[in-house]
Amino acid sequence: MGDNGRAILVIGGGMAGMTAAIEAAEAGCAVILVEKAPYLGGRVTRTNQYFRKLCPPACGLEIDFRRIKVNPRIKVLAPAEVEKLSGSPGDFEATVKILPRFITEACTLCGACAQACHAEIPDEFNYGLSRTKAAYLPHAMAFPACYVIQRSACPQGCKACVEPCAYGAVDLDQQSERRTYRVAAVVAATGWAPYDAARIENLGYGKYPNVLTNVVMERLAAPDGPTGGKILRPSDAKPPDSVVFVQCAASLKQAGYVRALYPGASITIFYIDIRTPGRLEDFYARIAADDKLELIKGKAAKVEEDSATGDLLVTAEDALQGKLITRRAGLLVLATGIVPQTQSLPPCLPLDEFGFLGAPPGRTGLYAAGCVRRLEEVSASVQDATGAALKALQCVVRSAHHE
């Protein structure tokens, strides 16, 4: 399969996209893997530990990266985006725009370009919690293993990074390139982004520095994060003596981060519902047994700041006792929801009423996988992507038989 030129196009290089690409390629099909970021791995690369195994992301990503690297059937295009998609099952035509990295494949990761770079930018990988040079390696495990330059941040006419590169890998004249591919099937796995917590005005995100989101909390807890794995208050870089979480069973995992670092810290979780079926019940029971952790069923209504200390005063309903209560927090962590990333997808891929990607009714050849299709944790996304790869392979086989 794939030798007749009818490859599978996978849009998105996170866990779901990589899985679909790997499974299809290892079954014998050519794959075009398109990722808009300059590296593969998606949101998982930015977590401290991913659910359910509570493993660091490296333990799974390094295996997938190696499977991609050694498989000649997989063509990785990153950073790139699909601009246009037309055709029918077995014979789609995709126009892909490949964005310039300004660094070629001759890069050896020596870092000379970054050392010579004069410009700094917010570090997108750390959600802007730190800064990096405009010539940078996205993160230590980045794949493709290659630096990238954010040219728009460079001073006019600056070429300081060119001469120090002994391998001639810096090419500041690179331009965007468009390529057209004919493919038999398409798997969309563009993943998710966190909901904009600033839109929840009463909870103080963006107003008070010690109000964080759960994705930022992951970077603070990560050993390769901006604080080296220490969960510190942004206002004064001090350890918190109390942490309040608002909503979501996933907050149980992050409560474990706090307890591992700060045995004496008080932890409060305000929740509406906690669902921990099956094996997750043991996880819930272990966290809930912490005598310094308080689980309160109720909705947080108001957050105010104590300007003298930077602490947050969280007023919430205690639904079981029928009264309002207030908890003081050195840190407040908001468990924001996910938003499926569909903006860059071709319009032939329809959305459901909640904005998730659905398969066109009665039409084969177009498939969705992972969190762009439905809310899933990592292992479920991997299973979902494997199923999408199988469907895409069947489409390839059918199209070959009709040749």
Residue 68, class by beta-carbon neighbours within 10 Å (0-12 exposed, 13-18 middle, 19+ buried)? buried
Report the percentage of the chain scoring pLDDT > 90: 79
Q: What is the pLDDT of residue 277?
A: 75
Kindly indicate the confidence band of residue 276, based on its pLDDT and cuts at 50, 70 and 90: confident
CA atoms within a 13 Å half-sphere pointing along the CA-CB vector of 197: 21
Kindly indicate the confidence band of residue 352, based on its pLDDT and cuts at 50, 70 and 90: confident
CA distances for 199 relative to 166, 207, 211, 343, angstroms: 48, 11, 13, 20
Chain centroid to Cα 43, Å, comes to 1
Partners of 28 in the β-ladder: none
Each residue's pLDDT tens digit, 55-83: 898 888 999 999 999 999 999 999 999 99
| Residues whose CB is less than 8 angstroms from the CB of residue 317 and which lie 6 or more positions away in sequence, other chains included | 298, 299, 301, 323, 324, 325
Checking if the pLDDT of 108 tops 50, the result is: yes
Mean pLDDT of the chain: 92
H helix or E strand, kind and range, residue 369: none
Each residue's pLDDT tens digit, 190-216: 999 999 999 988 999 999 999 999 999
Q: What is the pLDDT of residue 351?
A: 87
* 117-121 CB contacts, 8 Å cutoff, 24+ apart: 117/149, 117/154, 117/160, 117/161, 118/155, 118/158, 118/160, 119/153, 119/154, 119/155, 119/158, 120/153, 121/150, 121/153
Could you check whether 7-99+176-193+338-401 and 196-334 share the same CATH topology? yes
For the domain made up of 196-334, give the CATH fold.
Answer: FAD/NAD(P)-binding domain (3.50.50)
Q: What is the pLDDT of residue 14?
A: 96
Superfamily for domain range 7-99+176-193+338-401: FAD/NAD(P)-binding domain (3.50.50.60)
Q: CA–CA separation, 366 vs 73, rounded Å?
A: 20
* Cis amide bond preceding 79, omega within 30: yes
Helix, strand, or coil here: 370?
helix
Q: Output the pTM of the full model.
A: 0.93
Helix, strand, or coil here: 77?
strand
Checking if the pLDDT of 125 tops 60, the result is: yes
Domain positions in the chain are: 7-99+176-193+338-401, 100-173, 196-334
Closest CA to 19 of 399, 390, 395, 340: 390
Closest CA to 43 of 66, 25, 17: 17
Q: CA–CA separation, 191 vs 238, rounded Å?
A: 34
Using an 8 Å Cβ cutoff, are 42 and 338 in contact? no
Q: What is the pLDDT of residue 60?
A: 85
Checking if the pLDDT of 1 tops 70, the result is: no
